[in-house]
Structure 1
Amino acid sequence: MKFTLSWLHEFLDTSLNARDIAAKLTHLGLEIESVHFMSAGLESFTVAHILSTAPHPNADKLRVCQVQTHHGVRQIVCGAPNARPDIKVILADIGDVIPTSGLKIKASKIRDVESNGMLCSARELGIGTDDDGIMELDASLDVGVKAIDALGLNDVLFDVSITPNRGDCLSVMGIARDLAAAGCGTLKALPPLAALELPHGREVTLASDVCPHFILYEIADVVNGTSPAWLRSRLESVGMRSISTLVDITNYFMLAYGRPLHVYDAHKVAGSFSLRSAHRDEPFTGLNGTNYALAEGTCVIADMHGACAVGGIIGGNASGCSESTTHVLLEAAWFDPIAIAGAGRTLNIDTDARYRFERTVDPSTTEPFARRAAEMIVALCGGRITARTCAGEAPNLTRTIAYDPTFMMQRTGMMVEEARQETILTALGCTITKEHALWHVSTPSHRPDMEGKEDITEEIARMVGYEHLPCTPLPPARLHVRSPSLTDKARSVMIARGLDEAVHFAFTSEANASLFTDDAASLVRVRNPISSELSVMRPHLFADLLPAVARNHDYGRTNLALGEIGTVFFGCTPADQPLRACGVRTGTTGMHWRDQRSYDAYDAKADLLHLLEGLGLSSAGVMVDTTNIPPYYHPSQAVRVSLGYKITLGFAGALHPATLRAFGLTHPVMGWECWLNHVATSLKPKKYTAFVPCAYQASVRDFAFVMDASVAAGELRKLILKANKQFIRDVTIFDVYEGKNVEAGKKSVAFSVTLQAHDRTLAQEDIMAVSNDIITSLHTVGAVLR
């Protein structure tokens, strides 16, 4: 929100200077983005008078001007097409610096003709966008007058960042109102409106809940020309371009009072107005010249031929005003903030009107400011107000809140006297009815964000100053350590495994998503996608991770280990949106003097098993097989991990080359996925006991068994763990061999078994007994000690 100090003074009688006002606004929670002294860099520029001009002897587009300055007559070469005798202009004298370009003016020769200064355009001075010619000033100005005085630039421009809940401060009047409530001056009252009897104008039908209140003034015989200097100056000072008097008046009311308005050329509107929902793909051309296909449900203001405007967002090109407009319809309405925000996002239109309506415009301003704007149109454009139409009624956004003044101390610890609380609330526009110790506080219509007693307390604290909040230490309390969630545990394990966490949008392209589903028609599609590349909800995290791998490869990063935890989508209900964890590895394990190698399927399998272990599922309890492998994995280099073969916990292995080629990847990529929802339902409540380290030495024994090549090594490991639960603590597979000295169709698997007792050191007899238990157990699957 931008405004100037002089504009603020039209609403607020204050003696504070610009820096004090900036400090107070920050104090009130209205963050100052910048304070710009508009005269900065222009102090030495002055008014000059062109006495005569002559063509440049060596250049067709240049003119040699004789200019009367406060130092006497100077010769200046100028290329502006409007340089001519008898006009007042802005002079940059020798030694001056042009603020927009940094050019320092010096005496020079331009095409062999001496030039002693420069005549400036608005763009060169940084005070406007017009660079078609030099600025032409009021002929009554005296030569030598400072340009900042002649142009009214001895002013200060504020840029304030307004939070979304403070739509009431998106106007100069709103800023002044907040400052006045804080005791920084007196808010100036608007002149009263005289009674005005007008006939009923065009019919307006409200057929949409988005707009409950609509005002229409008809003004005839207007002349729509260039706005007066004061109006142009107000708009241009805050960076808004002057268009025409009619449009400038509506923009002025929006900036000054926070009341968006719109004007229609009455001769371009056919019949009555209807505020209705747009038809599906209804065509509409906005004032910005863009063609839109409106979404069904969008609120439009339509005549007999179609939409004339999208309510609260943008007017239509077909009904817009031009220089030839003589009959005007002035609209003021109130629109539902949520509906405006949704329609604006759908159409991808950002306008100042939308920005205000979606933050809630004060509904009580609809009628009075429509009337004031109509009177300003008559004052500046001539004509007469001929009719008025009012449809619906303004919604009541005021609330009555029960408030106990002692709540201020209870909530904030600030001791604020009741009289001061009452003064502050009254200054904020509230009315108070007292009932014994309880106050009934009615909030003003421009503050819909005040919903409860906490908001009243916040407003009082804001006005008193947050710096007065006492520094009260919190009372001592027992520390309750939150048990980590399943997601937190998974993230910790993935980081410990060396995976970099990736975070993506849940959207992806249909092409990517179709690689990870058997039925493309079942994909969950986004109704209003950000782009065609984000048109469906991802059915798999690989749909995001593999493009990330491809992008990193393009940047030369070929050694990658990425992981992500997120939701995948198979439908629109929560049950169809399970939580998954996925990881990918590609390239090598990194530079190492001894054992650098390429990632393989076993790395992906290890990632998955470590994750399950970290989540509380012992590797002894899970099964590893090669059944039901999804088609995006390599058919012979991937495994399924399950609980009792029935509950799938995840998959791991090399990804299918065809899948990789779809993402432009030519190098092998290893991947894994963990179905966290299945893990969560498989976990049993765990009782935590204090860890007591074993005081007795562990013993390690190695075994090698020969068995059929079809027997899964993981099955053998589970049998060993069950062989003697009293002493066997851990089992590790450290070798799998097929080849020489092993019968064809057989394989040798070597295990390292850790044995330990909690009450004693195991004797040799104990170790031999456990060894026999292991050998006997593995005989059941045909495994023979090698």
Structure 2
Amino acid sequence: MKFSINWLREFIDLPKDPEEIAELLTRAGIETKRIETRGANIEKVFVSQITATSRHPNADRLTVCEVDDGSGTKRQIVCGATNYKVGDKVPLALPGAKLPNGTEIRKSKLRGVESEGMLCSPIELDLGEDASGLLILSADVKVGASIADIFPADTILDVEITPNRGDLLSHFGLAREIAALSGQPLRLPPAGQAPALQKSSVNLTANRECPFFSLRRIDNVNVGPSPVWLRAKIESVGIRSINNIVDISNFVMLEFGQPTHAFDADKLKGNINVRLAHDGEKFLALDGKTYSLKPDNCVVADQDRAVGIGGVMGGEETGVTDSTKNILLEAAYFLPASIRRTARDLNLQSDASYRFERGVDPEMVLRASQRAAELMRDIAGGIPANEIQVAGEPPLNLADVPLSYDKCDRVIGVAISPKTVDEILMRFGLRKTAGKSETATWRIPSYRRDLRRDVDLIEEVLRAYGIDKIPGRTRGRFVSTSDADRSHDLESLVLRERLTTCGLSEVRTSKLISRTASALNEAVELRNPLSEDHVALRPSLISGLLEVLERNIRAGAESVSIFEIGRAFIPPSGKEERHIGILLWGNVATTPNWRSQTRRTLDLFDLKGALECIVPDLLFRPGRFAELALAVEVWFGHQLLGFGGQLLGSKSSATGPVFVAELNADLLLAGVGSAKTFRELDRYPGITRDIAMIVPEKLTHAEILRVIRQPAEPLLEKVQLFDLFEVRDGGAATGPGKSLAYRLTYRAKNRTLTNEEVTEAHAKIRERLKRELGVTPRE
């Protein structure tokens, strides 16, 4: 968010150097991304008034203006803008002026007509981003006044506000934070006499989504351009001026952090209802788009239709226009989770929703309403009603938080006196409700709903005390990484090296998943998520890998081979497990050559190969998993590690098969570690024999291996399948089947085998296959 230094100085005395302010904030964890200067060095630019206009004789798109610059002499200016009329006051740059963008103004001829200067747009004076026309000044400015006096040079801080610090999304909020960090006194914003509260006829049925709602009527307003000071303030931080009523609403939001909305009261029918939308209800918003609402979207409605999406955006049909005379001013508190959900459902973001979804101060609702009403009275001539109509109750403050001074010292690593701790916390707006020499209990202010635990309070103490004051410590011989931690890191490194050697790329995805994914997996949900995309702990790595796949497909990738090693949280308890996730899609990463211009598509055997890169001795058995069209269980010894297979087509937008696998890395590494055995090198040669056979189509490889290996043949060392093809006609007995060929290796540990011994053992296996499985030997 952008903050004006001049505006901040209305609440607190600041150093002259903006770098000092930025450094103070950054040290406290509030990063300042950029420092910009606006309106600097605007010399020889004055207020002028257009007294006459005529068409340019030689150019259809140019106009010749006669302007009064207050010197007593009229000047002729050639202008290309069209957004002005006779009588408007605009900035005039005289010959010799050098604008902030580097343009030097000289007396010149444009298409044969002399021009004695230039009329300026906001962007040319570095007073805004609008380049579409001239900067139209308010009628109260004096002709001949220097633009530099009307728009004093300002410095803009572009500050990165974290999602948990919604209290900083206003100039008063940031000034309050600077005061707490620096110890400077804070000047409170102006506040008139509080109006009376009146229980209103507002029907507040969506009281969960909107616990507190207020309305105030302002009659006889004159809608028009904003005064220079108001326009300068909001445009300095990137808000475009629309009219005085809308600008006042934006000004109060930028000042206090509380959004408000002005309805044209004469366009409303009947009583106001704050309710949930009807499924499919249509709403025409101020951005000119029509939205189809969902049943959990909160709306503000009159007796006929929705007139606003609560906390997000008002409606076009009841918006303020130049003809508006009477205003109904809304100020409310909306539940952050409700606003996040609505903004995401509708893909509709606004300055109001940005603040509501991060949490506004409930105690600022009525103060902002009063401030806006006073400004509408002073600027637009409106007459505010004596009462504010209210419905509902603001949410209660958080529970008090106990703090141990000893724990504060231990966590920070430096002894800070209880008196200093108390002073710091009170500067942040906390109030001590009970205390002893060792502990104290603190009341949290309404605007700091992120402070819930003692460690949150300790963090505030550290931020104000100064991280730079904490002495560094060299790691001593008594502070070391545990053997278990070193082993964990080494094992993960080995797994990564094996998978990357097999051609896979490592990815890192979020441990938090969206509400949709959470519902599908019955995941453990967070109590107060910051985003609808991050509402629950992931029970599996596959969802994150699929998101990476989708992003790569959108970027034009032809193949994706990725893995992740990370934590999964198993519902319902949320037990943590270290998992390995693998995803393969697309073609094998080989370059087409003269033999073939096409690349083979990745298949289940590539997935099997990737898994065997981790541990060669894995076993694969047929399995069933709801989201897999072709599934196997992955075993190591007698331990089930996980699953693998081809994902159902409905689970991904990818064209072609997607193969995934997920293993429990903790079980895998424990099994590998306990299964280490050693044997001496072979001293005697082995002898191989082949068996080729035709088998029924449904007979599995695992069943054949079982029969070959049982009963245990002492001379049989290894069995390897080396040939497989389909047989359309396997004979009258078997029908269609498949032909398999196995290579069997025989070896004795203490002698060289004879040909007769091997032939006898091999014949027994052949007979057992024919007898138990009905295979047909193939010579």
Relative to the length of structure 2, the TM-score reads 0.76
Is residue 2:13 matched to residue 1:25? no
- Deviation string for 1:553-584 (max 9, x for gaps)? x77x6xx5746789xxxxx999xxx9996645
Contact 2:53 2:63 in 1 (8 A): no
Whether the 8 Å contact between 1:5 and 1:156 is mirrored in structure 2 is yes
* Structure 1 residues 128-174: Cα deviation after superposition (integer angstroms, max 9, x where no partner): 3264346558797585x764x23313111122111111000000000
1:157-168 correspondence to structure 2 within 5 Å: 157-168=156-167
Deviation at 1:5, TM superposition (A): 1.2
1:487 to 1:698, Cα distance in 2 relative to 1, 3 A:
farther
Matched, 1:694 2:685: no
Change (3 A) 1:74 1:281: closer
* Corresponding residue of 2:366: 367
Q: What do residues 309-337 of structure 1 show as CA deviations (whole Å, max 9, x unaligned)?
A: 22222222232222232222222211111
Task: Tell me, yes or no, if the aligned pair for 1:36 and 1:157 is still in contact at 8 Å.
Answer: yes
Distance 2:38 2:336 in 1: 35
Q: Give the equivalent residue in structure 2 for 1:753.
A: 745
1:196 to partner: Cα distance:
4.8
Matched, 1:399 2:385: no
* In the alignment, structure 1 residue 730 sits paired with structure 2 residue 721: no
> Quick one: distance in 2 between partners of 1:458 and 1:600?
56
| Deviation of 1:493 (Å) | 6.5
Is the Cα–Cα contact under 8 Å of residues 700 and 752 in structure 1 kept in the other structure?
A: no
- Cα 1:185–1:74 change in 2 (3 A) is same
Change (3 A) 1:86 1:337: closer
Paired residue for 1:207?
A: 205
Q: Distance in 1 between matches of 2:645 and 2:438?
A: 69
Checking the alignment, whether the CA contact within 8 Å between 1:649 and 1:674 is kept in structure 2 is no
Aligned counterpart, 1:13: 13
Name the counterpart of 1:478: 482
- Residues 11-160 of structure 1: matches in 2 within 5 Å? 11-40=11-40, 42=42, 45=45, 56-59=56-59, 61-63=62-64, 76-80=77-81, 82=84, 89-91=91-93, 93=95, 96=98, 99=101, 105=105, 108-115=108-115, 117-128=117-128, 129=130, 131-133=132-134, 147=147, 149-160=148-159
Quick one: distance in 2 between partners of 1:652 and 1:317?
A: 52
- Cα distance in 1, alignment partners of residues 154 and 658 from structure 2: 64
Structure 1 distance, partners of 2:399, 2:543, is 48
**Within the alignment, does 1:703 sit opposite 2:683 as a pair?**
no
Aligned to 1:451: 452
Query: CA, structure 1 residues 283+548, in 2 after alignment: closer, same or farther (shift >3 Å)?
Result: closer
Equivalent in the alignment of 1:4: 4
Out of 57-66 and 348-357, give the one that drifted further: 57-66
| Identical counterparts, % of pairs | 27
- How far 1:599 sits from its partner (Å)? 6.7
**CA gap 1:406/1:352 in 2 versus in 1, 3 angstroms:** same
Which residue is 2:237 aligned to?
Answer: 238
Say if 1:714 and 1:561 are closer, same or farther in 2 by CA, change over 3 A.
farther
Q: 1:768 to 1:785 in 2, by over 3 A?
A: farther
Q: How does 1:629-644 map to 2 (within 5 A)?
A: none
Q: Aligned residue for 2:529?
A: none
Corresponding residue number in structure 2 for 1:526 = none
Deviates more, 1:124-133 or 1:342-351: 124-133
Q: For each residue in 1:692-725, what CA deviation from the matched residue of structure 2 results, as whole angstroms up to 9, or x when unmatched?
A: 3524436342323344465877766555555766
CA contact 2:563–2:583 (8 Å) conserved in 1: yes
Q: CA deviation at 1:296?
A: 1.0
Q: Which residue of 1 aligns with 2:328?
A: 329
Instruction: Measure the CA separation in 2 of the matches of 1:66 and 1:219.
Output: 38
Look up the match of 2:217.
218
Q: What per-residue deviation string (whole Å, max 9, x for no partner) do you get for residues 711-758 of structure 1?
A: 87776655555576656543334567999xxx999978362627474x
User: What displacement does 1:251 show?
Assistant: 1.2
Question: How far apart, in 1, do the equivalents of 2:215 and 2:356 lie?
Answer: 18
Distance 1:539 1:704, change over 3 A: same
In structure 2, which of residues 491, 500, 503 is the aligned counterpart of residue 498 of structure 1?
Answer: 503
> Corresponding residue for 1:776?
764
Q: Specify the alignment match of 1:229 in structure 2.
A: 228
Is 1:167–1:356's contact at 8 Å kept on the other side of the alignment?
Answer: yes
Could you report, residue by residue, the CA deviation over 1:61-112 in whole angstroms, capped at 9, with x for unpaired residues? 3327688799x9986533445587996732163583562xx65555654223
Q: Is the 8 A contact 1:314 1:351 kept in 2?
A: yes
CA distance in 1, matches of 2:413, 2:545: 52
Letter in 2 for 1:260: P
The letter of the residue matching 2:503 is G
Secondary structure at 1:780 match in 2: helix
Cα gap change, 1:376 to 1:64, in 2 (>3 Å) = closer
Name the CA distance, whole Å, in 2 between partners of 1:86 and 1:306.
40
**What is the match of residue 438 of structure 1?**
439
User: In 2 relative to 1, CA 264–582 (structure 1 residues): closer, same or farther, beyond 3 Å?
Assistant: closer
Instruction: Describe how 1:336-375 pairs up with structure 2 within 5 A.
Output: 336-375=335-374
Q: Cα deviation per residue 1:169-194 (whole Å; 9 max; x = unaligned)?
A: 00000000001111263210344543
Tell me if the contact between 1:13 and 1:188 (Cα under 8 Å) persists in the aligned partners: no
Task: Provide closer, same or farther for how the CA distance between residues 137 and 269 of structure 1 changes in structure 2, counting only shifts above 3 A.
Answer: closer
Q: Which runs of 5+ in 1 are unaligned?
A: 508-528, 531-536, 567-571, 634-638
CA contact (8 A) 2:64 2:79 kept: yes
**Counterparts of 1:341 and 1:430 in 2: how far apart (Å)?**
28
TM-score w.r.t. the length of structure 1 is 0.75
Moved more, 744-753 or 447-456: 744-753
State whether residues 210 and 332 of structure 2, in contact with CA within 8 Å, keep that contact through their aligned partners in structure 1: yes
Matched, 1:763 2:751: yes
Which shifted more, 608-617 or 345-354?
A: 608-617
Cα deviation digits, residues 38-72 of structure 1 (max 9, x gap): 134645656678898776443453327688799x9
Does the aligned pair in 2 maintain the 1:92–1:105 contact within 8 Å? yes
Tell me the number of residue pairs that the alignment of Structure 1 and Structure 2 aligns: 718
CA deviation map 1:479-515 (0-9, x unaligned):
21566999999987765443557999999xxxxxxxx
Which residue is 1:514 aligned to?
none
In structure 2, the residue matched to 1:290 is 289
Specify the code of the residue in structure 1 equivalent to 2:425: L
CA distance in 1, matches of 2:454, 2:542: 46
Give the direction of change, closer, same or farther, for the CA distance of 1:104–1:447 in structure 2 (3 Å limit).
same
1:583-617 Cα shifts (integer Å, max 9, x gaps): 45646854689x9897779x846435445656769
Query: What is the identity, as a one-letter code, of the residue corresponding to 1:329?
Result: L
CA contact (8 A) 2:161 2:169 kept: yes
C-alpha distance in 2 between matches for 1:774 and 1:389 = 96
CA deviations on 1:332-354 (whole Å, 9 max, x unpaired) are 21111111211221122211111
Q: Which residue of 1 aligns with 2:519?
A: none
Distance 2:423 2:664 in 1: 60
| Whole-Å separation in 2 of the counterparts to 1:542 and 1:240 | 39
Query: Structure 2 unaligned runs (5+)?
Result: 514-531, 534-539, 566-570, 574-578, 771-775
* Alpha-carbon distance change, 590 to 699 in structure 1, aligned in 2, over 3 angstroms: farther
**Counterparts of residues 351-750 of structure 1 (less than 5 Å):** 351-386=350-385, 387-432=387-432, 433-472=434-473, 473=475, 475-480=479-484, 495-499=500-504, 562=561, 583-584=584-585, 586=587, 589-590=590-591, 604=603, 606-610=605-609, 613=612, 618=617, 673=659, 688-692=674-678, 694-697=680-683, 699-708=685-694, 721=709, 728-734=716-722, 749=741
Contact 1:120–1:135 (CA<8 Å) still a contact in 2? Answer: no
Q: Are the equivalent residues in 2 in contact too, given 1:775–1:785 (CA < 8 A)? A: no
- Residue 691 of structure 1, CA deviation: 4.6
